[in-house]
Each structure stands twice: as structure tokens, then as C-alpha cells.
Homo-oligomer: A and B are copies of this chain.
């Protein structure tokens, strides 16, 4: 369920705004495009745009024109039901692509809110389609990215439909840990960008339950919690929580 390990961008600073930029790894790096193709792809990517913490990259109901590649930062995506309940559908970090849900109706169906100061590259969708008609590798890659989103969503359904609170939290922490590791950050010590309430919304739990479960993990020596700083002290125990066979 986790994408293959991808290397951190070590290219010189002056190249960082190009398509080889690490922030666009999901869209570009694994492609193996020719230099010319790279340049074409570069051509459609607009200047990075900063989004302050708390600001919306887009909101449900707004017309759809572009996908967004996160260059830097951290976002939550959430849907609001007719009667006002929020469901966080995902947390997204650098290198990931947002907005694919909007393709179906040409209208955004989620809110995307920055949870820290962030930067995104806008990718006009018409351009993506046009270019991917010319570059089969890009086409294939784009399809894989969309498909990966579907697979991820299925994983969340499994979590919401089958798992107990402790398992959900353990899965959540391990997932974050892996994604930070891929980006070259510590996998055992990281800062949560979201509130307990947002974690709860994502995991189908109330914020009190999130808080209690984190405390319990701490008591058991699995993690250390200091506000939003999390240190994983016994990753294997967390993994064991997940693998435990639940009879039936």
C-alpha cells in the first residue's frame, strides 16, 4: 500500500525549480523521460505558489482547472456532508498530487487546507492531458498516480470498517513514519501537523479517543508524545498491533 522508496533530490539548488525537483517526485522522477520531454513537462508547470498555514488551496464547489503538486508543506483534504459533518479524506505532503477527485465533475469536491506554510505547483489539467497524449510514459505515470489514490482509499476503508481504535492509530503513525522516511526525514521522530480532532476525523474516532490512545501507547512505551512531537520508541510493537489476527 506504500509507494516504492524514492530517493531524495540532491540536485543543486538552481535546478530545484525544474521538473527534477524533489517536490515533484511523484509526477516526474520515476519517468525516465528524455531531456526534451523533461523540458516540455517543465513548460506546463507554473511558478511555485505559496500557501500560508490555514489557507485553502481550493475548496469544494470551486471550478476545477488544475491539479496541484505539493512542493513543500503539508495539507489536509476533507469533504463536508450535506449536514455539515467533516470527513478528512487524507493528509498530503511534498511530492504528492492533489485535486484528482475534481476531474469527474470539473468541480472540486474537497477542501484542501494547508496545515503548515506550503508551496504548490499548479498543473493545468488540459496541459497534462495534452502532454500525456504525446508522452506515453507520462500518461502511464499519471494513470498510476490516480490508481494509487484509489488503492490508498481502499486501505482507509479497511481501516474504518474493520479496525479498532488502537489499530487505527498504530496504522496512522506507521504510515506517517514511512512517508517521512521516504522524504529523507526521521522515521522515528516527527511533528504532527494536524490537531487531534483532525486525526480523529480521518480515523473515524473522536478527539478524546485519539488523545487517550496516544497516552496509552506512551504508557506502554511504544511512543513518546510531547504535544505534537511524536517519537516512535518501539515500532515493532506498533506493527504487531496491526498484524494480530482477530480470530473470526
Residue numbers of A with Cβ under 8 A of B are 79, 81-85, 87, 89, 100-105, 109-110, 129, 132-134, 136, 139-140, 143-151, 153-158, 160-162, 201-204, 242-246, 248
Chain B min CB distance to A141 (Å): 10
A104 touches B151 (CB 8 A): yes
**Residue numbers in B under 8 Å from A244 (CB-CB):** 83
A157 touches B84 (CB 8 A): no
**Residue numbers in B under 8 Å from A79 (CB-CB):** 154-155, 157-158
**Residue numbers in B under 8 Å from A133 (CB-CB):** 132-134, 136, 139
Interface centre among A139, A156, A157, by most chain B C-beta atoms within 10 angstroms, is A157
Q: A204: which of B134, B153, B162 is its contact (CB, 8 Å)?
A: B162
Least CB separation from A140: chain B residue: B129
A154 touches B85 (CB 8 A): no
A144 touches B87 (CB 8 A): no
A157 touches B151 (CB 8 A): no
Given the known inter-chain contacts A83-B245, A133-B133, A153-B153, please indicate yes or no for A103 contacting B147, CB distance below 8 A: yes
Interface centre among A84, A139, A154, by most chain B C-beta atoms within 10 angstroms, is A154
**Residue numbers in B under 8 Å from A242 (CB-CB):** 82-83
**Residue numbers in B under 8 Å from A246 (CB-CB):** 83, 85
**Residue numbers in B under 8 Å from A147 (CB-CB):** 100-104, 146
Least CB separation from A128: chain B residue: B143
Q: How far is the CA of A2 from the CA of B57 in the complex (A)?
A: 25
Q: How far is the CA of A104 from the CA of B1 in the complex (A)?
A: 10
A101 touches B151 (CB 8 A): yes
Chain B min CB distance to A223 (Å): 22
Closest 7 CB pairs of A and B: A103-B147, A153-B153, A104-B147, A160-B160, A161-B204, A104-B148, A87-B158
